[in-house]
Each structure stands twice: as structure tokens, then as C-alpha cells.
Structure 1
């Protein structure tokens, strides 16, 4: 005969705290260092058993429904503990050019059904994809040809060409939307979203660098190019010019300071540049061989 399992719970100086919605039990009572050194496994098992038993006792005090297959089921309350997010709160997806236009004009998008009814086949067929209705003209064995068409005109090939052109147009629009959203000014960082921006900021910096290189390739170095929305102003070296008319005393002092700088120290020569010039970019070894040949 099995021994009865005790459901008693020992409450220490600090009462056990529960969050039944998360099935969590917290025991904040300190552990005696001397007892823990003697039997660490026993101390941890006793603390875990005590906290778990307290949680189970509380669950069985909740409203319970009897289920024929699963047995007693308890309705857990809403959890109270605020759990930290592993990742920042997702930012709203930026609107595409068409979505901005539809929002400004008040146009409501109607979602099309994936299946449509084919009157000829008397069955439901997919709108796109395998055996889709958009390929209906391509799969026909007999198609009417216009009277003004060329001799080598193929309606199925023309329909496939138009379908692929629409796909390419949609993909190009998608890529333009991605580039426009990447070039948009970044949103201010929040407290929860302080750790997601490195890749986005790096991508923005790469796009700005590519844009500056593209502008520098024009004849005007990008001076007359149209600026994009949200584009940052390129930074460069700002040159300062003195006024044409200045005081004679200041001008004389500036000239004297320049002459003093030119007279200081001995003139220095760049030996590496001199050797490269004298040897016609052949190096010091070639220069030494040339001098040896002259001595002979």
C-alpha cells in the first residue's frame, strides 16, 4: 500500500508568491549556507517541492470543470508578472506609394479571392499559380487570331510575354518601395528598441555612400542633380576666402609671418620621390646599376 503524499506547505519568514497565470511560484526566503554545504541537492529539492506544492494547491482551489477525456481542467487567471521582451516592439510597416495614394484618396482595397469559377470547365480554379486563370489563354489548344496579325503570331506566346512583363513590373515596384523606405529618415529610438538599429543604420550609410559616388560621376559632380526626399546634405571641405580689401598693417604682418615660416629650418627633400623620378620608377637598384655602368 503506497504511503500518502503530504500536501502541506512550509511558509518561511517571507510568504511564497505566486503568479498562477504563468504557473510560476517564487520563494524569496534565504538559504542557510551551512545547511546548503552539507546537502545542496536535498536543500534545492525541498525548496522546489515546497514551491511547486503551493502552486498545485492554489490551482485546485480555482473553478474546475470536468472533461470526459482530459479530466479536471482549471481556468487560469490572467498573469500579473511583466515579462521582458526578447526583441523590440515591431515598428509599423511603411506604406508603399500606392498605399499612400489610396489613403489620401480614400480608396478601400478589396481583397480578391484566391479561387474563381471557370464557366467553361464548370469548376473552381486558382486565380494565379499552377493551372491558374491568368494562364487561361496560354493553355488553350484553339485561339482566335486577329486578322491583322503576322504569319508567325502566337497568341499563347504573347500572353505569356505579357504575364512575365507584369511580374517584372511588380517586382520593380517592390524594389523601388524597399529603396524608398530605406532612404526615409530613421525613426527615433525607443527604450525597448535600442538594440535593433545597427544593421538598419549601416544599410542607410551604405546607400548614402553609393548615392554620393553616383553623384560624383556626373559632369557637374552632382551639383545640378535632383535631390531625393530625406537625403542628407553631403559634407565637404569648406574654403574660406579673405576679403579683397583689408588693412595694410594686417596684410604686411601676414606676409612677414609667411616669410618667417619659409626661412625656418633647412630644406628637406623626399628621397623616395627623388629616386623614383631619377630612375623612372625603376627603383634604387636600377639607379645603382645605371651608376655602375657609367663608372665602367
Structure 2
């Protein structure tokens, strides 16, 4: 009884040892192709046809076993790569992957090359090459690299140089350092003046008063004439502050945005007047006869007739003048 138990224990131990050995050792008829850079393993061994044609559980088990064996071979190849500790001695063990051997397909097509511009075509035709100038240059005096332009540029400020060259035709007794400082002050003052002029011009352009839509009519009311006078007053540069006043003109300065002030009827007032006003509005809205200004329409018609008569008269005179000149030219030719 005891012997049987010992044999069973030994058989179980041998089976466990074989199972462990089988878990790390995989035998294939054809060796797999590995691309460790992409963590890729290619298995060209044909799978068992009987297992694939069988039932679903058997086919699933076959595929799982095949995937497990190929993964085991890939992991074994990774363990053969040179490894190192990341982050010191206590860090995780990492392996350096080689360069990928297979080019994986792109998700999107590669971008198309940008077509050359007209300047690029002209430069290629003429052989012009673009040369980019660096912003730093070597300063021989300071023995260091400095900016090409601006503050602390290479060469320094001529007004602060220890040596100043006397130009030709200049007074040899003149202080050249003072001249350089004076020219610099004048240049700075000129730039500041130009800046202030630009600001003033921009301010004037942004605060110009738009012209009022005034149209000539045959008869202008008192309100229209007052509006014209206010617009003419504020059309000056001082907005009418120093403009002489007209006779009987009010002493207060008209506001810049002066206009007709709206008047609202009181909330509590004469109910009869409000009722009559609403009835008149409803009567005008319901009436089919258009509201016509007889005087204005007659004046417009008269002006139109006068303009047509003047145009016809001018046309007749021009034709008569052409006829007379033609007759004179014919008489001269006959003589």
C-alpha cells in the first residue's frame, strides 16, 4: 500500500515537472519570424485542419493554445535582449528594443507635397538661394556675440564710442562726441514727433463727424434750417467752439449730437384727445386713398417739365449750330 502511494507521488511529481518544462519550451516545425521592434511574431506553421473543422469549443481551445505558444516564444526572445534597471538599482528591469524591421501601414495617406509658389519657381529658375541672416554677430570690440540690431548691438552706440572719426570737410576743432550725442537726441525727438503725429491723425480719423443726409428741396422748414446751421457749426476743427455766432442765435453751444428731441404723451391725460387720435389713425389705415401732398407733387411735375423743355431746347440749338457750320464748310469748299 505504501509502495503504491510512493509510485503515485513520483508519477505526479514527474508530471508536474513535465508540465513546467512544457510551459516554457515550445517546439515548432518551422521557426517563427520575429520583429522585436514591433513586438511581432509570424508563425508560418499550418494549424491542425481537424481541430479547426471541429466543434466550437475544440476550435477555441486550439486557437488559445496556438496563441499561448507563440506568445511564449516571443517572450523568450525578449528575455534574450540586453536589459537594464530603469531609475536606479531598485527600478524595474527593461529591455532595449531593436529598430523595427517591418513598415506598418499608415492610418491615412501621406500628405501631398505643397506646390511651389510663384516666387519659389522664379527663384529656382534664376538660381536664387535664400540665405537666412543670424540675429547674432561677433563684436570685435567686446569680444563676444551680440545682437545685430537693437539694444546692446554689435559695434555699440556711436555716441558712446571712445574714438570718433572726423568726417571730411568738418571743422577739426568741433567736438565729434557732442555732435554724435546731438544727432542722437535729434533723431529720438524726430521719431517721437512722428509718433505723436500718427496718434493725432488716427484720433482725428476715428472722431470725424459723418455728413448729415441733407437734400436740397424747394422749401425748407425752420427745423431743417436749424439742423443745417448746427451741422455747419460743428464742421470746423474746434467743433464750433470758436465760430462766430449769427444774429439772434442762442448763446448756448449746440451739443455735438443735437437733434430732434422725442416727446412722449403723459400717461395720465385727456382721454378724449387720445381716443380721437387713435380713431384718426385707424381711419387712415383703413382708407384706400393714398395720402398725397398736392403742392409737392405739382412742384415736382413742373420742375420735370422745365428740365425736359430745357434739354429739348439745348438739343435743337446744337443741331442748328451743326447745320450752320456744315453749310459754311460746304460754301468754302465750293469757292
TM range (shorter): 0.3 to 0.5
Higher RCO (CA 8 Å, separation ≥ 6 residues):
1
Q: Report the structure, 1 or 2, having the larger helix content.
A: 2
Please give the TM-score of this superposition, normalised by the length of structure 1: 0.35
